[in-house]
């Protein structure tokens, strides 16, 4: 895999919309100021990535985001030698760039990456705050403005994909969940442009669907999908059809289960 295959981006100045639920913004800022690594955990689509982007912009720091997957290796994060014009040249990976710049590096769903990735992170998560680059012989000392943030979804954890206690205990941690109904309603309205009163039944439907977790559904409807559904409704799609397209179909393939979900949709929207 080449470094450019990794989803890595830098953002600065723009402040992505985020509505706090508790004291998470204060904790993040304190972790940044005190040079502490942060672990954010919570279900898919509950706002973890948006929160990180919001905080990076709020702190006026560049953000390098890496979406972890089964093939992601330590070299993908740190860098490798590549051929350029017949010569080999070292190419920094996103983690190395973040350390050199003093930026925030965010590893999304870190448990999906190969085990050697966490080993590379360890020297950055204690008082040393260093990144050894064996291939170049460098030892990079992270500046005060560098911050390491990782996330994962505990709902997907199993014996093969979990963080070792020795890794977890190197991070302070924040637990995320879906926002309370009144906050989620405001988020959906702000993100989609759909009036709040029309978002209320959508949030009520989501609460019913989420009660089916581990009964009929492996995963529950996310705030992200609710925003998608609201966008479809705002742009003229009938609510029942929008809910089927944005909520029911993405959650399940089983025809019997889908029929049960559609009954809940019809009961909500008549």
How far is it, in rounded angstroms, from Cα 206 to Cα 109?
24
Average pLDDT of every residue of the chain: 90
Q: Which tokens in the block code for residue 61? A: 């720091």
The band of 217, judged by pLDDT with boundaries at 50, 70 and 90, is confident
Q: Is the pLDDT of residue 10 over 50?
A: no
Q: What is the 3-state secondary structure (H, E, C) of 59-97?
A: CCCCEEEEECCCCCCHHHHHEEEEEECCEEEEEECHHHH
Q: What is the pLDDT of residues 37-59, one digit of tens each?
A: 999 999 989 999 999 999 999 99
Residue 245: predicted pLDDT: 97
- Tell me which of 1-10, 40-49, 87-96, 155-164 is least confident: 1-10
Mean pLDDT of the region 12-40: 92
Q: What is the pLDDT of residues 227-268, one digit of tens each?
A: 999 999 999 999 999 999 999 999 989 899 899 999 999 999
Region of residue 178 (phi > 0: left; psi between -120 and 50: alpha; otherwise: beta): beta
Residue 14: predicted pLDDT: 61
Torsion of CA 134, 140, 145, 151, to 10 degrees: 10
Domain boundaries, the chain: 3-175, 181-269
Give the 3-state secondary structure of residue 102. coil
CATH class of domain segment(s) 3-175? alpha beta
Query: How many other C-beta atoms are found inside a 10 Å radius of the C-beta of residue 170?
Result: 20
Overall residue count recorded for the chain in this entry: 270
Mean pLDDT of the region 152-180: 83
Which string of DSSP letters, residue by residue, matches 161-228? S---HHHHTTSEEEE--PPPHHHHHHHHHHHH---HHHHHHHHHHHHHHHTTBTTTBSSPPPHHHHHH
Q: What is the helix (H) or strand (E) element at residue 265, kind and residue range? A: helix 255-269
Residue 156: predicted pLDDT: 61
The band of 3, judged by pLDDT with boundaries at 50, 70 and 90, is very low
The band of 207, judged by pLDDT with boundaries at 50, 70 and 90, is very high
pTM confidence score: 0.88
Residue 86: predicted pLDDT: 81
DSSP 142: P
Helix, strand, coil percent content, the chain, rounded in steps of 5: 45, 15, 35
């Amino acid at each position: 895999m080449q470094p450019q295959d990794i989803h890595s981006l830098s953002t600065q100045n723009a402040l992505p919309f985020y509505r706090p639920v508790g004291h998470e913004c204060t904790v993040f800022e304190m972790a940044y100021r005190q040079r502490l690594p942060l672990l954010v955990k919570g279900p898919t689509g509950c706002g973890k990535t948006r929160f990180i982007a919001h905080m990076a912009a709020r702190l006026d720091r560049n953000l390098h985001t890496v979406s972890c997957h089964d093939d992601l290796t330590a070299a993908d994060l740190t860098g490798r030698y590549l051929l350029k014009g017949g010569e080999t040249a070292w190419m920094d990976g996103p983690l190395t760039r973040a350390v050199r710049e003093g930026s925030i590096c965010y590893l999304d769903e870190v448990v999906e990456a190969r085990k050697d990735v966490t080993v590379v992170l360890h020297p950055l998560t204690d008082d040393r705050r260093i990144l050894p680059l064996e291939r170049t012989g460098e030892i990079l000392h992270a500046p005060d403005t560098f911050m390491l943030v990782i996330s994962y979804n505990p709902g997907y954890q199993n014996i093969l994909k979990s963080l070792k206690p020795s890794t977890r205990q190197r991070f302070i941690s924040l637990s995320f969940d879906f926002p309370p109904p009144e906050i989620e309603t405001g988020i959906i309205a702000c993100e989609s442009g759909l009036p709040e009163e029309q978002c209320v039944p959508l949030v009520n439907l989501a609460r019913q669907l989420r009660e089916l977790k581990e009964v009929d559904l492996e995963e529950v409807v996310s705030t992200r999908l609710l925003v998608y559904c609201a966008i479809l409704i705002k742009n003229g799609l009938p609510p029942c059809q929008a809910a089927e397209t944005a909520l029911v179909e993405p959650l399940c393939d089983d025809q019997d289960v889908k029929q049960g979900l559609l009954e809940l949709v019809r009961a909500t929207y008549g």
